[in-house]
Structure 1
Amino acid sequence: MIHKQLSQTLEEIAEQLLREAGHAVPEKLPVVIEHPASDRYGEYSTNLAMKLVRVLKKNPLTIADEIKARLVHHPRFAGWFERIEVAAPGFVNMFLHWERWIVTTHHQDALQPVNIRQKAVIEHTSINPNKSAHIGHLRNSCIGDTLARMLKRAGHEVEVHNYIDDLGNQLADTVVGVMRTSVRNRYSRFGDFCWDVYAEINRKYREQPELEQERANVLHHLESGHNNIAWLGMLVAEQLVREHLDDMRQFGIDYDVLVWESSIVREGFWEETFKMLQKTGLFRQESEGKLAGCWKQTADETDPAGETEFQSDKVLVRSNGILTYTAKDIAYHMWKFGLLDKQFRYQPFGHGVWSTHSQGVEQDIGRADMVINVIDHRQEYPQQMVKQALQVLGYDQQAAQLRHVSYGVVSLSRATAESLGVDTSDGRSSYPMSGRQGIGIKVADLVSHMEAVIEAKRSQHEGLDSRSIAAAAIRYYLLKFHLQTEVVFDLEQATEVSGNTGVYLLYSYARACSILEKARSLAHTARSDITAIAAYPTSVGLTPQEYAVLKKLAYWPETLEEVVAGLTPNLLCTYLYELASLFNHFYAMCEILKADEGARRFRLWLAGRYRDTMHDGLSILGLPAPNRM
């Protein structure tokens, strides 16, 4: 991988220059490699010389010349660069030798599997089983599933968990609502019925605050189990989880195991963790104040929040004995890392998914080397408490391997909120979804709406069906934003099929497949005669459109490595969109099938290389790669 090797080599050269001048080598050297905006500066550029000026006390051009000389004669890059140039005020610009690059990378995997194969447990989705899933839940699932695909692509063993909070307030509210409200309507799904029930019971709480005591009673019954209310809660939760899994399956999202919160409590996982925490100095029972009787994880001197903030998040066991979500999450993570002597048992839940169950069978699940949790940014502090608990218990290595992938929530644009009946007279640009008020866009409704839009816009109906295209378009829409961005969901914008959209990528991929299919025999020749293809850029020269696609393809391995290392799906979306745009421009400006033999051979190879790269990227994003659209 050129970029990685170049980075390592420049670090070595910087160390050599510093040592030869009698200077100490800093722990982190300032090596930056860029892709020049202008073609005249090559494919790679570094400003390392200017970073070393202050220490070496030399003219940056002199330092750049020394860097160039060492790069030219470095065995790692023999033949890789056609030339290396120095440009004011001290840049070192490198020009790839395309013939060498084409031949060398023709049969090479863009991302070599990691040397150390680790087991990663990724937890995502984890929707409260109290109503239908909405688009905010879907963003979580799309991110989590894409991260799982990334790590699998890098060679890791990946296990996907979906945590089911069947002992929480939200399920309790729906159970109370089923018993105490009268919602009359025609529903095709149980979750849609529960959507209205949940909103209605929360309206009643506001009118009759004394009803909230029923929630507390239901919570006690759910946690103790083996009673009428616990059975009702289980039936509600199981049906809703099945509907949630059906929703996600149409987006290509699957799971390995469902971990039920009730299993953590009833199988003694929390009890064992509780005993371990009691032996530490940062876990105690409060004796006075509003938290009297509560067991609390206290802040240490490194706690950024101090003792006055996030008090409720620090409580692990309430004074009435009910466990908080954080308490159960700590026990869950102890098990994830294989730090408890206990193991779950499992039974099939359908579609290859295992589910924790006391009467099940043993499976080799858990015991992770690293744990990744996809949870929105509002849960950042509880996630810190889990990490802190691991550290307090002496599991620093595991704490270091616990990663919270935070993301911004999904809200509704003004136009979309107004279409749902939300009062937008205050003129805000976005409005939060609210399950308690019944405001939001259900996943099933969004897919159906998008399917109708796609169907209306299609001129041909070959290849993928409209529902599959709709699911791909929605998935890409939710992945293309930076993780920390609050997605202001606009229904009209989400249903666009041109520009930076999933539909645009699918059409572009299908176009490359169509070209290669039309020239099947030629394409085979083009892709096998790699020596003649490799000689084309130097012997004939490249058009700007050919060069732009070729250069972007050369950046695929390093882009993929960056995406996997940073767990950043949006960067992958950006790369694939830019690559598709360049390919479409190349297609529009350059004859392919009607070109002369040498150009046709090279351009068919370029189309094939584009198709293979797009297939790789689409697969990681969880999007289909259709031969026809």
Structure 2
Amino acid sequence: MFRIFRKDVEKALESVLGYSVSNFVRESEHADLSCTVAFKLAKERERKPNEIAEEIVEELVDEISEYIGSVEAVNGYINFNASYEFLEDAVNTILDEDEDYGSMTEQGEVLIEHTSANPDGPLHIGHIRNSIIGDTLARIFRKAGFNVTTQYYMNDMGRQVALAVLGVRRFGLSDEKPDHAVAKAYIEINRLMEDNPEEKEKIQAEADRIMLDYELGKEYAVEEFRRVVETALTGIMETLSNLNIEHDEVVWESEFIRNGYVDKVLKKIEELGLLLKDGAWFIDLQSKGYEKNVVVRRENGTTLYITRDLAYHAWKNENFERFINILGSDHKLIGKQLSDILQLLGLKPPEIVFFEFVSLPEGSMSTRKGKFISADDLIRRVYNEAYSLLKDRNFSEEEKKEIARSVAVGALRFDFVRVSPEKPMTFDWKKALDFERQTASYIQYSHARACSIMRKAVEKGMPDLEISGEICTMEERKLILTLSKFTTVIERILRELRPNVFADYLMDVAIRFNDFYTTHPVLKESSEVRMHRLAIVDATRIVLKNGLELLGIDALEKM
């Protein structure tokens, strides 16, 4: 709805000025929308901004639409405020559309690749930041109307996987959760190499041999690699499911050797005169300013990660209009190399969201050394703390467990996504579960409060809801305007790929709702005001519910 109000403002200004000034229209603390074009014109005409702003406002009188309630010039700014009709239509639209509110009609095929962790052990806290960013973007793109596919790109060909295979071959699999069992074998084989230099040389030689045999498709190697990778993947997918995350597809890196895409890409590189051969094969990147060339094939004939990744992205170019990768900041160099090579090949590069790493007070992590905080451990820890907070609540045991799970997942997902991807973060689970702070539980509690008000209204024989713009207080007006911005925020995320923007938006809704509720009685008011405020409460409930769904967080009705 806010989009319509903004378009009306831009259209009115364009009618007066004769050209679009959308770049000069923005939200403001002093008005619903403010236009700064008078400052630009003042410089050009050597006049005072306020004089020009006042002249434009005079001409705007005949261009005012029903959604523009007022327009005035203030110190050179042209300030617009929404009308009573807009406030009423905004609330009624939310109530009418209900769970569809916020949906858009964008079209196109979008691929979001996220998580894609090596299958040598369980996910750790860095991985789940990747997963949560990717899953949240997928949910938002789907809400916008795109046909979205999420993929886990399985690195089944690297040295780490080969060592995990040799670890399982030598030490077997324990009875632990599958991904933890693979990690245990991987840690053991690395420990053996560290403690015994002679064994290290033999193991590394064997790893090189089975990597080559796997790439060549030899049956024994395929069987061993598949067994270990699928075992790890089973555990990884269980962890993701516990965070309300699912992938549509798992794409195996090795498949791009089997299906010929690697050969097609190498042939294209050679045809363009970019391929250098001197034992190993290189891509000449001097034209892109690189000092070193990129190796795409070793002397023994095996390809490298970037070779298969180029093939994967050639396939993406053929099947998707937009393809988005979520990568840790340590992948910036390879991400740039990938993008530059694809452009040399005449292909579209991926849109990449780089994220910084997550830490806990416990410090740094290393899967190889067995020093890491697994996502499973973190989920368990946060769940136990959430459950302890509910021990004195008047719920059944089953309800406590279910609410604790929803609160724990909400705490993790919200805290991991609310920080801008390019900023490092430290996850503090005690703060994340504080019901009084600006956390996921605060938003969930706000939704539960709205549900409670509506339940009580129904019990008292709630009449038809009827919003009245004319009696809106300042707090009600601010809340309704915030509710109306749902799709505006989604549009911004589609452009910027920053899901933290939506987390901030939903928190703003919860804060404004609680400000409203604290100072505005609802059920005790007279009939007209009660119907009016109940309409605002129910509209808020819908926005919070739909918003929590986009963040992958359960919208609890009781807490």
Superposition TM-score, scaled by structure 1 size: 0.80
457-466 vs 252-261, which moves further: 457-466
1:60 aligns with 2:49: yes
Partner in structure 2 of residue 226 of structure 1: 218
Cα drift, residue 153 of structure 1: 0.6
Compared with structure 1, are the counterparts of its residues 82 and 17 closer, same or farther at alpha carbon in structure 2 (3 Å cutoff)?
closer
1:600-627 Cα offsets, whole Å, 9 max, x none, are 1111011011011111211111111122
Distance in 1 (alpha carbons) for counterparts of 2:159 and 2:431: 35
> Is contact 1:124–1:375 with CA below 8 Å preserved after alignment?
yes
Residues 311-342 of structure 1 deviation map (CA, whole Å, 9 limit, x = unaligned): 5xx2211222221111101111111222xxxx
Contact 1:523/1:605, CA 8 A, preserved across alignment:
no
Contact 1:11/1:31 (CA < 8 Å) preserved in 2?
A: no
**Aligned CA distance change for structure 1 residues 33 and 4 (closer, same or farther; 3 Å):** farther
Q: CA deviation at 1:134?
A: 1.3
Partner in structure 2 of residue 214 of structure 1: 206
How many angstroms apart in 1 are the aligned matches of 2:340 and 2:24?
A: 34
Partner SS for 2:463: helix
- Per the alignment, residue 259 of structure 1 pairs with 251
Letter in 2 for 1:95: N
Relative to structure 1, the CA distance from residue 182 to residue 83 in structure 2 (aligned partners, 3 Å threshold; closer, same or farther) is closer
Query: Number of residue pairs matched?
Result: 544
Cross-structure match for 1:460: 394
Contact 1:477–1:502, Cα closer than 8 Å, also in 2: yes
Q: What is aligned with 1:83?
A: 70
- For 2:9 and 2:316, the matched residues in 1 are separated by 39
**Aligned with 2:371 (options 436, 439, 450):** 439
* Pair 497,230 (structure 1): closer, same or farther in 2 beyond 3 Å: farther
1:434 is paired with a residue whose SS is coil
Question: CA RMSD for the aligned pairs?
Answer: 2.7
Q: Structure 2: which amino acid aligns with 1:249?
A: S
Q: Output one character per residue of 1:93-122: Cα deviation in whole Å (capped at 9) or x when no partner.
A: 11211233313662266546245x110011
Measured in 2, the distance between the counterparts of 1:66 and 1:6 equals: 21
Residues 318 and 498 from structure 1, CA distance in 2 versus in 1: closer, same or farther, beyond 3 angstroms? farther
Going from structure 1 to structure 2, the CA distance change for 1:307 and 1:522 (only over 3 Å counts) comes to farther
CA gap of 1:491–1:606, structure 2 versus 1, over 3 A, is: closer
Q: Please say if 1:197 is aligned against 2:185.
A: yes
Partner of 2:525: 595
Distance 1:306 1:11 in 2: 48
Contact in 1 for aligned 2:111/2:151 (Cα 8 Å): yes
Match of 2:480 among 533, 546, 550: 550
For 2:176, the aligned partner's letter is: S
Higher relative contact order (Cα pairs below 8 Å, separated by 6+ residues): 2
| Cα shift at 1:10 | 4.1
Partners in 2 of 1:112 and 1:175 — Cα distance? 46
Write out per-residue CA displacement over residues 146-168 of structure 1, whole angstroms, 9 at most, x where no aligned residue. 11111111111111111111111
- Aligned to 2:555, the other structure's residue is in SS state coil
* Aligned partners of 1:297 and 1:316 also within 8 Å: yes
- TM-score, with structure 2 as normaliser: 0.90
Structure 1 Cα separation of the partners of residues 61 and 553 of structure 2: 42
User: Structure 2 CA distance, aligned partners of 1:171 and 1:438?
Assistant: 16
- Aligned match of 1:608: 538
The superposition leaves residues 197-231 of structure 1 with CA deviations (integer Å, 9 ceiling, x where unpaired) of 33333334344242433322232233223343432
Which of the two has greater helix per residue? 2
CA gap of 1:295–1:145, structure 2 versus 1, over 3 A, is same
2:266 corresponds to: 274
C-alpha deviation, 1:568, in angstroms = 1.6
2:104 corresponds to: 113
Residue number among 144, 153, 156 corresponding to 1:163 in the alignment:
153
Q: 2:322 — aligned with what? A: 370
CA shift in 2, pair 1:295/1:525, >3 Å: farther
* Contiguous gaps of at least 5 residues in structure 2: none
- Paired position in structure 2 for 1:405: 353
Per the alignment, residue 357 of structure 1 pairs with none
CA contact (8 A) 2:103 2:487 kept: no
Note if 1:394 corresponds to 2:326. no
Partner of 2:119: 129
Partner of 1:51: 40
Counterpart secondary structure, 1:616? helix
Distance 2:532 2:385 in 1: 38
Tell whether the 8 Å contact from 2:112 to 2:325 is kept in structure 1 after alignment. Answer: yes
- 8 Å Cα contact 2:144-2:490 kept in structure 1: no
Matched, 1:326 2:278: no
**Secondary structure of 1:68 counterpart:** helix
TM-superposition CA deviations, 1:552-593 (whole Å, max 9, x none): 223333223223332221111111112112212322222111
Please give the alpha-carbon distance, in whole angstroms, between the structure 1 residues aligned to 2:168 and 2:482: 56
